[in-house]
Amino acid sequence: MKIVQKSLAIVGLAVLGMLFINAFQNAPTDENFEKKIINDYNVYAIQMPPYLEFAGEAVPLSNPDIYERMDKELLVNTYWQSNGLLMFKRAKKYFPIIEPILAKHGVPDDFKYLAVIESGLTDARSPAGASGFWQIMKATGREYGLEVNDNVDERYHLEKATEVACEYLKKAKESLGSWTSAAAAYNAGNYGISKRLEAQKVSSYYDLLLGEETGRYVFRIIALKEILSNPDKYGFNFRDKDLYKSIPTYQVAVDTAVTDFANFAKQFGINYKILKLHNPWLREPHLNNNSRKQYFIDIPREGFYQTNP
């Protein structure tokens, strides 16, 4: 099928709106992006990379079962173009927050892709109640020191939730012996993976017979790592200015109750919506703070938002 564009305006709309991938294209430069003419729609088999690894641990691609499962995830995630582009856009905004925390804890950088498959880098909430970028359950959050209640839920605090994820993953690695198994345990639990390894008399995630969700879990992480690391190879075309940017903030310490966050926000030239965008862990329009705990609230620097008076 060929689609011939009649003007640069139509080209721009097609580039942004059409579900398109050509696995052999090069990503356009900023200068020629709008001049590029898309003249066909083709679906290509994905060429399996000769070597893939997660956290320094090789994927046994010579095993035909592993090859097929890896191929499936590369196909599914490459051709889900709208979601893929969103992941590139959000990664630009949030990976710089996640990466230094992983490094501080000695957790491999590859685990940032675990957050991608868990939540799509959004403050998601699962039907089971797992919440935030790292999809932490209420009991787990409290076990690792997060405040979790109707008023304040620090599972939605990206930095603090990333710290908790790091602690959980380090314990899983120590218990199970590999980062790959630790990643699987993030989905199925340390006990769940340990019990299955013992029952099936194997020592590797790749040798386990698992349910569909956990069986796909690590392969999905690796697929997103491969695609997000190689946009040109998988046909994703964008410019740096197309990606989402972090808004610089400063912190305001609060050690009392706040009766109305709408009024609180106005003191800093923003509205309640913008305050919540930067502090999703504040779950209600007020802060109880009966214990006089000190909280740090992120306030965007002046000039990045326009709000009506």
On average, the pLDDT of the chain sits at 89
Mean pLDDT of 113-133: 97
Residue partners of 305: CB distance under 8 A and separation at least 6: 247, 270, 274
Residue 16 pLDDT greater than 70, yes or no: no
- How large is the C-alpha radius of gyration of the chain? 22
| pLDDT score for 306 | 77
Residue 31 pLDDT greater than 90, yes or no: no
Residue 38 pLDDT greater than 80, yes or no: no
pTM score, whole prediction: 0.86
Q: Are 251 and 279 in contact (CB under 8 A)?
A: no
DSSP string, 233-296: TTT----GGGS--PPPEEEEEE-S-BS-HHHHHHTTT--HHHHHHH-TTB-SSSB--TT---EE
Which pLDDT band, with edges at 50, 70 and 90, does 43 fall under?
confident
Q: What is the 3-state secondary structure (H, E, C) of 70-123?
A: HHHHHHHHHCCHHHHHHHHHHHHHHHHHHHHHHHHHCCCHHHHHHHHHHHCCCC
Q: Are 254 and 297 in contact (CB under 8 A)?
A: yes
End-to-end CA distance of the chain: 52
Q: What is the pLDDT of residues 166-206, one digit of tens each?
A: 999 999 999 999 999 999 999 999 999 999 999 999 999 99
Residue partners of 137: CB distance under 8 A and separation at least 6: 128, 129, 130
Q: What is the pLDDT of residues 236-266, one digit of tens each?
A: 999 999 999 999 999 999 999 999 999 999 9
CA angle 70/74/188 to nearest 5° reads: 55
What gap in Å lies between CA 165 and CA 151, rounded to an integer?
22
How many CA atoms does the CB half-sphere of 152 hold within 13 Å?
Answer: 19
The closest alpha carbon to 84, from 238, 239, 241, 246, belongs to: 238
